[in-house]
Structure 1
Amino acid sequence: MSTLQGKRIALVEGRMTGALSDLVQRHGGEPYAVPALREAARPCADEVASFLDRLSAGRFDVVVCMTGVGVNALCDEAERLQRLPECLEGLRGVTLACRGPKPVAALKRRGLLAHVQARTPFTSAELLAAMADLEVAGRGVALIHYGERHEPLANALCDRGARLDELCLYEWLLPEDLSPLQTLVRDLVGHRVDAIAFTSKSQVRHLFQVATGLDLAESLKQAMQHDLVVAAVGPTSAAELEAFGVTPQVVPENPKMGPMVMALAAHMTHMAS
C-alpha cells in the first residue's frame, strides 16, 4: 500500500491548505503548511461598469472565464453597482467558455450554463482546443483572467482575430507576513523537509521570490533538484518549476489535489522499497 510514511510534506497552497493537509495526513504524512499567496480584490468598479455597458450593448459574442473566483468577483462587483440582473442577462446572451470545473460551478450557481468547457488537465491549451470550432475572428471576446494576466491565452485569441477585452478583477500577492515562508525556505535548504507540493504557478514564483530576498534562490533550486521530492498538481505549475530549473518528479494525470497526494505517496513508497 502506498503511504507517505510519516514524511514531512511542505504545502504552499493559498486557499485550500486545510483540505490539502488533511489529504497528506490521511496518506500517513506530516503536513507542513505555509500559504505562499493571498487573493486580493482589485479596485475595479469603473472597469466592471464599462464592461457591463459593453455587455448590455451586445458588444461581446464570447466571454471566457478562467476561474470561479473571477466569475464571483464580476458578479459581486455588479451587485455592488446594483447591476447584477443586467450582468446575468447579458451573460445569458453570449457563449460562455470555461477553463475548468470551478468557473462552470460558479456560473451554475448564478443560473448560467457554460457552453464550452476545457478538458482535463484544464490548461489554456485545452481551453483553446475546446474553442477551436468557435468562430472568434472579428467578434467581441471578453477574457476574465485569474489572479494575473494570462498573456499567452490573450495573444492566442488575438491571433485568431478576436476583438479582445480583458478583465483582471483580483490579484495574487505575497502574504503580508513573510516570516513563515522565509522559515520554509531555510527548512527546505537545510534538508528538514522531505517533499513539497505545488498547486499553482504563483506559489512557485512567490517561493523563489522570497528565497531571492534571502539570497538562497540557488540553494533552494539545488535542494529541490537533488534532496527533495517535488510534486506539481498539473502541467501549468510543472512548467513554472521547469522555468526555475526544477523538474518535478510527481505530476498526476488528473490535475487535482487528491490524485497529486496519491501519486506522491506512490512515488515515496517506491523510493523506500
Structure 2
Amino acid sequence: MTVAPVPDEGGTRPLEGYRIGVTAARKVEEQIALLERRGARVEWAPSLSQDPNQVDDSELRAATERLLAEPVDIFVATTGIGMKTWFEASEGWGLHDALVEAIGAAEVLARGPKSVGALRRRGIRELWSPGSECFEDVLAHLRGRDLVGRRIVVQEHGQSLSMVAHALQRQGARVEVVTVYRVQGAEDPEPMFRMVDLVADRELDALTFTSAPAVAAFMEAAGVTGRRDEVIAACQADVIAACVGPVTAAAFEMWGVPSITPERSRLAAMVKLLETELPSRRDGLSLEVAGHTLLLHGDLVLLDGVEVRLSPAPLAVLHALVVNPGHVVSRSELLAGLPSGTAGSEHAVEMAVARLRAALGTRVVQTVVKRGYRLAVGS
C-alpha cells in the first residue's frame, strides 16, 4: 500500500528526521498520515491480516440463535469491531432486534470505550466498564460474586477466551463464548520480517502497535527469524515501542520490553506522545542519581561526564530501571530483560546488579526488600 505524503498544515514538523515503523493493519492510512504530517519517515508492515473480520457466518448465526434460546444473566462485550460486526450480521438474518433486546435485558459489562460505543449505538447501556480497558479487570469485577447457575455470554475478541470461560465456570457460572471473528496473521510475512530486521539493526527510532495480537505476531516473527533477542535489546535501548493503550502494552511486558502509552487510548494521542518522547531520547536521558549525573544515550552510559562501559547484563538492568526512575522493578521483571545466554535464575539478576553497582557506585541502585530494585533518583 502506498500512502501519499500529507502536506504540513501547521508549519511545524516535530518528527522530522525520525524513522517510524507502523504495524497496524486497520486504520493504517490515518496513522501514517498523522506521522507524515509531522515529518516522520514511515515504514509499514502489517503484522495481522488486513481483513480483520474473519467471520464464519453459519457458526455465528448458530451461536446467536443459541443465545436467544433463553435469557442471558450477564453479557460481556470485549471489542467495538466485534459487536459492530455481530449486529450487522444479525440484520441480514432478521435477528437484529431480538439480539439487541436479549443483550439489553442482561447485566451488560463492556471492556472499553469502543465496545461501549458499539452497544450504545444500538440503544444498549452498559452497567459497568473498567477504566483500564483490561479484560483482567472485568474478571476481577466478577470474581468473588455468586455466579452459581448464572448464564454468562462473552463476546470473544479475536483470540480464544476458553481460559476465561473455565475461570468463570469454576465460580459456578454457565459460560458461553461467542466467536464473532478470528484475528489472522498477515497474508505475506515478508514485510514483517523486514520490519524485524529494521528494529534489530536499530534503523528505526520507534515502532507503533495498536493491538495485543499485533505485538504477539511481531514477536513471533522475530522468533522465527532468530532475531528476537536483538529486537528486545533494541527496544530496551534505542527503539521506542509505542502502544495505543494498556492492553497492547501489557503484551510486551512478558518480553521485558518497555513501552510508552498515552493517557487516552487514541491514535492521535499516541502520535502526540512520540513528539515528546523521540526528541528526549535522541538528546539522551539525564538523571540525578545518588549525587551523580547519569546520562544514557542508547548503550552509551556517562557518569558525571565520564563514559562507563557496561557488559550486556548490567546494561539491561540499568535500562529496565530507568524506564520509571525511582520505581521498584521486581527481580522477575529484570530477569525477563536479561540477554539470552544469561543463567535463568534470580541469582543472575543479583550478579548483574552487583556489577552495575561496581561500575556506577554502590548507592546508585537500592534494594527494596522482598520487592526488587530501584534507582536512587535525586538522593
Give the TM-score, by structure 1 length.
0.86
- Which residue is 1:71 aligned to? 83
Match of 1:262 in 2: 272
Given the alignment, which residue of 188, 191, 205 partners 1:177? Answer: 188
Partner deviation per Cα, 1:188-213 (whole Å, 9 max, x = no partner): 22222111111211111111222222
Q: State the distance in 1 between where 2:154 and 2:36 align.
A: 38
1:97 aligned to 2:78?
no
From the superposition, tell whether residues 28 and 139 of structure 1 become closer, same or farther in structure 2 (CA, over 3 Å).
same
Structural mapping, 1:28-47, within 5 Å: 28-38=39-49, 39-47=52-60
Q: CA deviation at 1:172?
A: 1.0
CA apart distance, 1:131:
5.7
Instruction: Report the Cα distance in structure 2 between the residues aligned to 1:226 and 1:126, rounded to whole angstroms.
Output: 31
1:50 deviates by 4.0
Q: For the structure 1 residues 160 and 265, does the alpha-carbon distance in structure 2 shift closer, same or farther, using more than 3 Å as the test? A: farther
**Where in structure 2 are the equivalents of 1:32-181 lying within 5 Å?**
32-38=43-49, 39-58=52-71, 60-110=72-122, 112-128=123-139, 136-150=147-161, 153-181=164-192
Distance in 1, matches of 2:185 and 2:163, equals: 23
Stretch moving more, 128-137 or 228-237: 128-137
Look up the match of 1:226. 237
The CA distance in 2 between the partners of 1:151 and 1:247, in whole Å, is 29
Aligned to 1:192: 203
Q: Greater Rg, structure 1 or structure 2?
A: 2
Is 1:203 aligned with 2:214? Answer: yes
Aligned counterpart for 2:254 among listed residues 228, 243, 255: 243
TM-aligned CA deviation for residue 163 of structure 1: 1.6
Q: Which moved more, 1:23-32 or 1:148-157?
A: 148-157
Q: What CA distance in whole angstroms lies between the structure 2 residues aligned with 1:116 and 1:157?
A: 19
Structure-to-structure mapping, 1:1-20, within 5 angstroms: 3-20=14-31
C-alpha contact (below 8 Å) 1:233/1:257 kept by paired residues? yes
What is the total number of aligned residue pairs between the two structures?
270
Alignment partner of 1:116: what SS? coil
Q: State the one-letter code of the partner of 1:247.
A: P
Identity, % of aligned positions: 25
SS of structure 1 residue aligned to 2:183 = strand
Which has the larger displacement, 38-47 or 130-139?
130-139
Q: Secondary structure at the match of 2:42?
A: strand
Higher relative contact order (CA 8 A, sep 6+): 1
Give the Cα–Cα distance (whole angstroms) in 1 for the partners of residues 265 and 162 of structure 2: 22
Deviations 1:129-174, CA, capped at 9 Å, x for gaps: 6667986443111000111123564455334442211011211111
Say yes or no: does 1:252 pair with 2:262. Answer: yes
- TM-score, length-normalised on structure 2? 0.64
Paired residue secondary structure (1:172): coil
Secondary structure of 1:240's match? helix
What CA RMSD, in Å, does the superposition of the two structures yield over aligned residues?
2.6
Does the 8 Å contact 2:74/2:153 carry over to 1? yes
In 2, distance between residues paired with 1:222 and 1:49?
47
